[in-house]
Chain A
Amino acid sequence: MKLIKVEHAYKIYKNGTTAIADLSVTIDKGEFVFVIGSTGSGKSTFIKMLYREEKPTQGSVIVGGIDVAKLRNSKVYKLRRKLGVVFQDFKLLPKLNVYENVAFALENLGLPNSEIRPKVLKAIDAVGLKEKTRNLPSELSGGEQQRVAIARAIVNEPKLLICDEPTGNLDPTTSKEIMAILDKINKESETTIIMATHDKDLVNQMKKRVLVIEDGVLVSDTKKGSYKVNESDKNSKKKHS
Chain B
Amino acid sequence: MKAIRILRRSIRDSFKSIFRNFSLSMASIICTTITLILVAISLFLSYNVRQITTTLEHELTVVAYFKRDVTEEQKIRIENDLKTMENVDEYRIKTKEEWKAEMGKEQEILETTLDYLQDNPLLDSLIVKVKDVNNLKGVAEKLRKYDFVENAEYGEGMVENIIGIFDVISVGTIAIVIALVVVTAFLISNTIKLTIFSRKTQIEIKRLVGASNVAIKLPFVFEGFFLGIFGSIVPVLLSIYGYTILYNTTGGYLSTKIMTLVEPFPFVFIVSGFLVIVGSVVGMIGSWLSVRKHLKI
B3 interfacial by beta-carbon distance below 8 Å:
yes
In the complex, which residues 68-119 of chain A have their Cβ closer than 8 Å to any Cβ of chain B? Answer: 73-74, 76-81, 85, 91, 93, 104-105, 107-112
User: When A73-B297, A110-B2, A112-B5 are in contact, do A91 and B201 touch as well, CB less than 8 Å?
Assistant: yes
The listed residue (A78, A93, A110) touching B6 by CB distance below 8 A is A110
User: When A77-B211, A80-B209, A85-B208 are in contact, do A93 and B2 touch as well, CB less than 8 Å?
Assistant: no
Q: How many of A's residues come within 8 Å of B, CB to CB?
A: 22
Contact A109 B209 (CB under 8 A): yes
B210 interfacial by beta-carbon distance below 8 Å:
yes
The listed residue (A93, A111, A112) touching B205 by CB distance below 8 A is A93
Interface residue SS majority, chain B: helix
Contact B207 A76 (CB under 8 A): yes
Q: State A101–B216 Cα separation when bound (angstroms).
A: 16
Closest to B20 in A: A95
User: When A107-B9, A110-B6 are in contact, do A93 and B201 touch as well, CB less than 8 Å?
Assistant: yes
Contact B204 A91 (CB under 8 A): yes
* Chain B positions 200 through 221: 1 when the CB is less than 8 Å from some CB of chain A, otherwise 0: 0110111111111101100000
User: When A110-B5, A110-B6 are in contact, do A93 and B210 touch as well, CB less than 8 Å?
Assistant: no
Q: State A105–B209 Cα separation when bound (angstroms).
A: 5
Contact B205 A91 (CB under 8 A): yes
A192 interfacial by beta-carbon distance below 8 Å:
no
Contact B204 A77 (CB under 8 A): no
Contact A77 B2 (CB under 8 A): no
Q: State A109–B211 Cα separation when bound (angstroms).
A: 6
Contact A156 B5 (CB under 8 A): no
Closest to B3 in A: A110
User: When A91-B201, A110-B215 are in contact, do A77 and B6 touch as well, CB less than 8 Å?
Assistant: no
CB distance from B213 to the nearest CB of A (A): 5
Q: Which residues of A contact B215 (CB under 8 A)?
A: 108-110
CB distance from B220 to the nearest CB of A (A): 14
Q: Which residues of A contact B212 (CB under 8 A)?
A: 77
A152 interfacial by beta-carbon distance below 8 Å:
yes
Q: State A76–B207 Cα separation when bound (angstroms).
A: 8
In the complex, which residues 139-174 of chain A have their Cβ closer than 8 Å to any Cβ of chain B? Answer: 152, 156
Q: Which residues of A contact B211 (CB under 8 A)?
A: 77, 108-109
Q: Which residues of A contact B206 (CB under 8 A)?
A: 108
Q: State A193–B21 Cα separation when bound (angstroms).
A: 40
Q: How many of B's residues come within 8 Å of A, CB to CB?
A: 21
Q: State A105–B208 Cα separation when bound (angstroms).
A: 9
Closest to B297 in A: A73
Q: Which residues of B contact A78 (CB under 8 A)?
A: 210
CB distance from A173 to the nearest CB of B (A): 28
CB distance from A53 to the nearest CB of B (A): 9
Q: State A25–B235 Cα separation when bound (angstroms).
A: 65
The listed residue (A91, A109, A112) touching B208 by CB distance below 8 A is A91
In the complex, which residues 258-283 of chain B have their Cβ closer than 8 Å to any Cβ of chain A? Answer: none
The listed residue (B201, B204, B209) touching A108 by CB distance below 8 A is B209
Closest to A93 in B: B202
Q: Which residues of B contact A74 (CB under 8 A)?
A: 213
The listed residue (A73, A81, A91, A112) touching B210 by CB distance below 8 A is A81
Contact A104 B205 (CB under 8 A): yes
Q: Which residues of B contact A76 (CB under 8 A)?
A: 207
Q: Which residues of B contact A81 (CB under 8 A)?
A: 209-210
Q: Which residues of B contact A77 (CB under 8 A)?
A: 207, 210-213
Q: Which residues of B contact A108 (CB under 8 A)?
A: 6, 9, 206, 209-211, 215-216
Q: State A38–B250 Cα separation when bound (angstroms).
A: 85
* Chain A positions 37 through 69: 1 when the CB is less than 8 Å from some CB of chain B, otherwise 0: 000000000000001000000000000000000
Q: State A111–B210 Cα separation when bound (angstroms).
A: 12
CB distance from A13 to the nearest CB of B (A): 18
CB distance from B218 to the nearest CB of A (A): 11
Q: State A238–B256 Cα separation when bound (angstroms).
A: 95
Q: Which residues of B contact A104 (CB under 8 A)?
A: 205, 209
CB distance from A86 to the nearest CB of B (A): 10
Q: Which residues of A contact B3 (CB under 8 A)?
A: 110
CB distance from A162 to the nearest CB of B (A): 10
* Chain A positions 180 through 211: 1 when the CB is less than 8 Å from some CB of chain B, otherwise 0: 00000000000000000000000000000000
- 17 contacting pairs across A/B (C-beta < 8 A): A73-B213, A77-B212, A91-B204, A91-B205, A91-B208, A93-B202, A104-B205, A105-B205, A105-B209, A108-B206, A108-B209, A108-B210, A108-B216, A109-B211, A110-B9, A110-B215, A156-B210
Task: Please list the 9 inter-chain residue pairs (A to B) with the smallest Cβ-Cβ separation, ordered nearest first.
Answer: A80-B210, A81-B210, A108-B211, A105-B209, A110-B2, A110-B6, A77-B210, A110-B5, A77-B212
Q: A51-B208, A104-B205, A110-B2 are in contact. List 9 more A-B contacts (CB 8 A).
A: A74-B213, A77-B210, A77-B211, A80-B210, A93-B201, A108-B6, A109-B210, A110-B6, A156-B209
